Structure 1
């Protein structure tokens, strides 16, 4: 029995809520605790790095727990609901830090809530993606649902990127007292905004759990950390792709962590929030369009490897143009759409391409080692993306610590040009940190991939033919015996 339209829509709605929560945390937790609550950038860098690395290692553990779960509601939906409820509560608590805490108390609060957020998010993220085989027939239906969910996740991320800053400001002004500072407006606004997102998250997940039924009990294969590292050691092409994913994602995430500081303290003006929203709206739209339209279009004319080099080249061009434009006296946000087009489009295509490359290494591993490691290889993708997120957060935090950027508004100041109090040296440092380091990383990724990755379309076809021949030979030998 094929999936109903309601089931597909409900599953997609679950992805929207899930990635709304993820993007709110991934993009704004550093800004919230460092710039608004006053936690030192160095402390936040350590917290984010440790938490993300711990979370990456926690994924296989949660996978094993879900795999062993047996209830009358299935093995996936109970954890999906439990994880959502607990994560929503922790999200609201994380963005509602008591302002009366001491500096050391605030650091402890940030560390505990962020680590708990990561643990509870894993509780629902693992079963969400792992449950697809339990309610789909396979083939085109499964592939179509996965594509739908990934697209809906992109919509959830884009929504948060677009609406957060302006919504936080509006909510803070509505619920805050008259005459409070801009910092206090943001503190109150983030608290109410996180509660709204948490409620929507729970609502979307409940709809998903009600309308998506597990048709059968399926075996869920989970990969241990030991299996991941063994697969990397034995599969040189998987190693090549994993290193590329880490470097590319680190480069992109450094900029995504720092871009809000660029608009607030460099591009500046009292209307920086509106400019940041316009920039994010355009960039988020380009990223989604690149994933859904630009990559499939280019794939008709170029190989995946060629598109990889084109994409990394586009990102480098985007960063160079961003550095050049930022270093001028221009104050027109629409000019920044030029680097945004190149950077965000490249990011969207690279997200698709690296997933394709990782899938290709499964056949290569089968050919080389006579063993297919699908579950191990794809568990590795989540692991390395989270690892890259932690490393990039640490690098961005070091930049903020060195540059000494902070929100120092006085009580009653609600329309502030923060860039006026920032020196040219600080501005140039921020510009270079968010462009030069990513450029260096992407250049390395180009040469690394060019020298290490050998799975061209021709090579993959050759491997595919040899695998068929080997399987045919094994069947014939079995029949003869």
Structure 2
């Protein structure tokens, strides 16, 4: 491992910046897909002047998205297995990042259209084409997602070094994700012919999709040019995992499964709030232009939180950071729930809710990354992408469930089509607040109990595992 340590010391800042550019573009794309695509579907995609028909089509599209994303959960581990077996002159991961970004960007832009008016002229054909294009987009996006975050254990074996790399990457991703929050409505409204009550029109949303997809692709190319995987005996897997054993790898890595379970529960609560933020500003406060202020707030506090992560982990354990973050998010939701139409109180509450999210992401990502060596020691072979695919897999499942909740709730409370804040009834508002605030608080509490009781892979335990692997791995691969 001395050779690995020497190689790591030679790392320059450029590979880190290049990697951060890749994660920047990746989270631009993720925000477009996970948060704003459903807003486009509910507010702009269907406009037949028949509210009941439009509500039906929104329900069908929402169901298709849920079914496809859940079905693809069974594909992701095999995608990770394919990536683990990839051998090219450019490395194991970069080809998947670049190709995945390009195909996903094109197909997502297509999804931000009505396929030439088929939503009105031939709804059945539209739904068939939508399902096909969405599936293609999701497969290539997933390949990129698995590959880009699976690179972390390939760049270093040291937990602290991984934390620094992940921190730089997360700075890029936070900036990318929150830049979308800042720019989404200005871009959409600038390119829109019809303001549509502040929600823009299809032309504006398509322009937004093209710009975001271009940024994501450019970031992937920069990552491909500027990064390089570390060579090590620990990464030379002479015992490869077969397709039939992929799920056995996941099932036997108990720490990977428990952190994934806690993250899924937490992610559901987190995503419900994040996905409803713009709805809150459009349909409760009644001023979508103020939403860009939230993006600016989130960029500032998000970058601060991520930059402090390596310092915080030297003073506090990951467990303490996890529980402290959940406490802050819970307090923020209570403040948010009582903010009503007070714009500035809502902005403070939403910003406070966002503050710990990058820290939680990094705690979860580092624990999943460390589970690579945990599984390697336990099972006798190394599965980087198979293990790291769990995080995007959980994000995808959480996103699928959340997307369904958002779409169905929007129809349920009347936040669709050309509706405005004045059209939302008191009963509809109460239902919306219960979904947006009460359910997430309950989910955060459950996630805390799961993490506390089942996740035991600490930084100290990982260091012990790596030390043991150093002694055993060479003999295991002879």
Q: Could you state the TM-score of these two structures normalised by the residue count of structure 2?
A: 0.80
Q: Is the 8 A contact 2:374 2:465 kept in 1?
A: no
- Give the corresponding residue for 2:135: 115
Which deviates more from structure 2 when the two are superposed, residues 70-79 or residues 247-256? Answer: 70-79
2: distance between equivalents of 1:63 and 1:255?
30
Give the secondary-structure state (helix, strand or coil) at the position aligned to 2:75.
helix
Larger-Rg structure: 1
Tell me, yes or no, if structure 1 residue 432 matches structure 2 residue 434.
yes
Alignment partner for residue 312 of structure 1, among 326, 334, 356?
326
Q: How does 1:347-358 map to 2 (within 5 A)?
A: 347-358=357-368
**Contact kept? 2:189, 2:195, Cα under 8 Å:** no
Alignment of 1:320-399 (within 5 A): 320-326=334-340, 331-359=341-369, 369=378, 371=380, 375=384, 376-399=386-409
Give 1:161 deviation, angstroms.
Answer: 1.8
Q: Distance in 1 between matches of 2:16 and 2:347?
A: 34
**Correspondence 1:64-463 to 2 at 5 A:** 64-69=81-86, 76-98=93-115, 100-101=117-118, 102=120, 103-130=123-150, 144-172=164-192, 176=193, 181-182=196-197, 185-212=200-227, 227=245, 229-231=247-249, 233-268=251-286, 272-293=287-308, 295-326=309-340, 331-359=341-369, 369=378, 371=380, 375=384, 376-408=386-418, 418-454=420-456, 460=460
Deviates more, 1:444-453 or 1:240-249: 444-453
Residue-pair matches, total = 450
User: Which consecutive unaligned segments of at least 5 residues does structure 2 have?
Assistant: 1-6, 47-53
Shift of 1:313: 1.6
Distance 1:298-1:77 versus aligned 2 partners, 3 A rule: closer
Does the CA contact (< 8 Å) of 1:284 and 1:344 recur in 2?
A: no
Gaps (5+ residues) in structure 1?
A: 410-417
Q: 1:62 to 1:23 in 2, by over 3 A?
A: same
| 2:156/2:230 contact within 8 Å kept | no
Tell me whether 182-191 or 87-96 shows the greater mean CA deviation. Answer: 182-191
2:413–2:424 Cα contact (<8 Å) kept: no
Deviates more, 1:421-430 or 1:208-217: 208-217
Q: 1:252 to 1:228 in 2, by over 3 A?
A: farther
CA contact (8 A) 1:258 1:396 kept: yes
Q: Bigger shift: 98-107 or 385-394?
A: 98-107
CA distance in 2, matches of 1:363, 1:219: 13
